[in-house]
Structure 1
Amino acid sequence: MEQQDRYIRFDWAVKCLLRQKANFDVLEGFLTVLLGEEVKIIELLESESNQQSVDDKFNRVDIKAKNSKGEIIIVEIQNTRELYYLERILYGVAKAITEHISLGERYYEVKKIYSISILYFDIGKGNDYLYHGQNSFTGVHTGDRLEVTTKEKDALVHKLPAEIFPEYFLIRVNEFNKVAVTPLEEWIEYLKTGCIRSDTQAPGLAEARKKLIYYNMSPAERHAYDEHLSAIMIQNDVLDGAKLEGRMEGRLEGRMEGKMEGCIEIARNLKSMGLDTETIQKATGLLPEEIQKL
C-alpha cells in the first residue's frame, strides 16, 4: 500500500492546507529542521502582499513564530519561480519588515526575518542544494566582526548585526541528488519528489504523511490541484524555452502573455465543471473578477 500513497506538493499544501492551525505541526517541523532549533508558530500573517495574482500565483506565506530562545521571529516562505528572483526575495523581506511593525513603534520592535526560497529552477553555478546568507560587518584591515552596543528597554545589549539583519535560505530543489539520511535531506527529498518514507523520524514529515495524502482531498480539490500542476508545467516550459533560446529577458512579455492564456484556459475548464470561484482562484491565481468574466 505504501507505493500507492501520493502526497501533495509542498507549495500547494502551504497555499491551501497548512494555513489551518491544526496543521501547523508540519510547518513547524520544516522550520525546526532548517533553522536548527525548535520553532513554534504563533500565527500566519495575512497582508496585502499575500494576495495572489497572475504574477504571484505560486505561494508566499509569512509566519509569526517563536524560536527556542523565546524570541519572536518572522519567517517568509516563497516558492520562487520569477525571472528576477533575487529582487523578488529582497522585496519580500522588505515588505515583511515594514508590514509587521506597527506605526509609531520604536525600531527595537523590528523582528528578525528568515527568508526561505524554494527554487525549482537553475539559478546558476554552485555545487550545493542549500545556501545560507546573512549580513555581517567585517573590518577591512583587521578582519574582525563588528559588535554593536544598543540600548533596548533601558538595558545595554551587545549584538552582532547578523542577529538583527535578515537571514536568507535558498533551497535548490533540483540540485538534490543524494540518498536522504538526515532530517534535512528527507525534507529536501519530499520537496523534490513528493515522497515521504514510511519510517521517517524527521520533524513534520510524519505529520505530513497523515495530512497531505492526495486521495484524502475531495474530487473537486484533487482536480484543482491537478490543474495547478498543469499550470506549473506550462510556466516551466515557457521558462525553459526562453532559456534555450538565450533570450530570457527579451521574451519576458511573451512569457507573461503565454502564462496568462494558460491560466485563463484552465480557469475556463474548471468553471465549466461547476467549481466555485475561490477554488478556481487557488488553482490559477486569477483574480475573482477575471474568473467571473469567463
Structure 2
Amino acid sequence: MKDQKLIRFDWAIKTILRDKANFDVLEGFLSALLKEDIKVVQLLESESNQDTPRQKFNRVDIMVQDSNQKHMIIEIQNEHEADFLERLLFGTSVVIVDNLEIGQSFSEVKKVISISIQYFNLGRGEDYIYYGSTHFQGVHTKKPLIIKKRYSLTDKKFIFKDRNIEKEIFPEYYLINVERFKDEILSDIDEWIYMLKNETIPNDFKSKNIDKAREKLKLVQMSEPERKAYEKICNQYCS
C-alpha cells in the first residue's frame, strides 16, 4: 500500500496543530530532536504568531515543559529570508524580551530554543542537523568557565552547584536542512525529517507519536475548501 500524502508540517503547525488535541504531534517531533520527553503547554499568542498567508510558512512560538518540569520557549521557523542568521538572533531576542514583564527579575528570563526547518542551502556542510549555542572558554587555557549558583537549604545553610549555562540560560539553535537528508534512518529524529522531506510516513516508523502524525496530517482529511486554500498557498511559497 502506497504511503498517503501528508500536509506540510510547517503548515500544520500554524493550523491544525494549534488544537490541544493535536499537541502530541509537536511533542513527538520535539522529543526526538531534543532527546528528552517534551510536553507542549501552549502556543504563544504574540506578534510572531501571525496568520497572514505568507506567515503560515514562517514561524511559531511554543511554550513547553521538559523532563525536569522546566518551562522554556521553542521557536520554530521555516522561511528563507535575507540575512537569515541575523534574523535568527533577532527572533530569539524578541521572544526573550516579549516574555519578561516590566519589573520581573532577570532570573525569570525564559530559556529559548530556536529550530529552523530549511528547504534551502544556508551554507556549505555535509550534515543535515547543525547545533549552536553560547559557551565561554579561557583564551589561553581553552578550558570552559565553571559558573556556580547558590541554592538555599535553610535560612543559614546553602550549597553551590555548577550551572550548565548553555542549557539553562542562553538560546540554543538547531538548523535542520531537509534537502541534505539522504533518507537514511539512524535515529528517531530521522523519521521526522523523512516526513518533512517526503511528506509521507512509512508504516514501520516507530518514534514517539509519529503514528499520530501519520493519522492527523493526512491531506485527504482536509475539506475541499481547506485543500484548495492549502494548495494555493503552497504553490506560492513552497518552491
TM-score normalised according to structure 1 size: 0.75
| SS at 1:101 equivalent | coil
- 2:187 maps to 1:188: no
Corresponding residue for residue 171 of structure 1: 176
The CA distance in 2 between the partners of 1:227 and 1:147, in whole Å, is 53
Counterpart residue number, 1:208: 213
Cα separation, partners in 2 of 1:232 and 1:55, compared to 1, 3 Å: closer
TM-score in terms of structure 2 length: 0.91
Q: Which residue of 2 aligns with 1:218?
A: 223
Kept in 1: contact 2:10–2:56 (CA 8 A): no
Closer, same or farther in 2 for the Cα pair 1:215/1:153, shift >3 Å? farther
Which structure has the higher relative contact order (CA within 8 Å, separation 6+)? 2
Deviation at residue 102 of structure 1 after TM alignment: 2.0
What is the aligned residue count?
A: 233
Alignment of 1:39-118 (within 5 A): 39-53=38-52, 56-118=55-117
In 1, the alpha carbon distance for the partners of 2:190 and 2:151 equals 39
The Cα shift of 1:80 comes to 2.6
Kindly indicate whether residue 158 of structure 2 is the aligned counterpart of residue 159 of structure 1: no
Q: What are the Cα deviations for residues 269-289 of structure 1, in whole angstroms up to 9, with x where unaligned?
A: xxxxxxxxxxxxxxxxxxxxx
Alignment match, 1:149: 148
CA distance in 2: counterparts of 1:83 and 1:55, whole angstroms: 15
Deviation larger for 77-86 or 210-219: 77-86
What corresponds to 2:204 in structure 1?
199
Q: Which protein has the larger Cα radius of gyration, Structure 1 or Structure 2?
A: 1
Deviation (angstroms), 1:54: 7.2
Q: Give the whole-Å Cα distance in 2 for the aligned partners of 1:152 and 1:77.
A: 33
Mapped to 2, the partners of 1:209 and 1:187 lie a distance apart of 11
Q: Is this contact kept in 1: 2:48–2:60, CA < 8 A?
A: no
In the TM superposition, residue 180 of structure 1 has moved relative to its aligned partner by 2.1
**Comparing both structures, which one devotes a greater share of its residues to helix?**
1
Which whole-Å CA distance do the structure 2 matches of 1:105 and 1:29 have between them? 33
Conserved? CA contact 2:112–2:170, under 8 Å: yes
CA distance in 1, matches of 2:151, 2:92: 23
Q: Taking structure 1 as reference, are residues 220 and 182 closer, same or farther at Cα in structure 2, changes over 3 Å only?
A: same
CA distance in 2: counterparts of 1:211 and 1:82, whole angstroms:
30
Shift of 1:198: 1.1
Structure 1 unaligned spans of 5+: 237-294
How big is the shift at 1:91? 1.1
Equivalent position SS for 2:6: coil
